[in-house]
Amino acid sequence: MKKVEDYVRSIKDFPEEGIIFRDITTVLKDAQGLKLAIDGMLDVLKDVEFDLLAGTESRGFIFGMPLAYELKKGFVPVRKKGKLPCETVSREYDLEYGTETIEIHKDAILPGQKVVLVDDLIATGGTIEAAAKLVEELGGEVVKIIFLMELAGLKGREKLKDYDVESLIVYEGK
């Protein structure tokens, strides 16, 4: 029986020499691979009490929406700056070369709501850390952060040491 990691395509030397790019499009395009990914994330959440799922643009949407649907929870999109039409709160975070800003609608999360954050990958942890801080700024509580994959060599989990973090697949390198 195949595991979800069997559906991830590894591409050597992309985007630069020495890097192994972990491609999830092969998980998404295969019905069984996608089912294993979603079912694995559902299993991680089976004993977690929460009110909302929030996913970061754009692959957090891909995994967050079916989870929200199956668990009968609402979904909050965490978008890049300028993509949301109503009043927002925003947070800037560091990238390898520069910065990025993400936003959530100001009324998306109510004080006291328990939130699960979801994304496809944790690398350096900057995006999801910024998303967690936005949830907290709105008065929400981050009760779990889940990823399909983790690149442990980039130590993103260190930025998230105050949160309950789980990844379905852990790659030791970068």
Give just the sign of the alpha carbon dihedral 99, 66, 134, 116. negative
100 within 8 A of 93, measured Cβ to Cβ: yes
Answer yes or no: are the C-beta atoms of 103 and 89 closer than 8 Å: yes
What is d(CA 166, CA 101) in angstroms, rounded to the nearest whole number?
24
Pairing of strands 88-95, 98-105: antiparallel
Q: Half-sphere exposure (CA, 13 Å, Cβ side) for 12?
A: 0
CA dihedral 102, 107, 110, 111 (to 10 degrees): 70
Active site residues: 59, 96
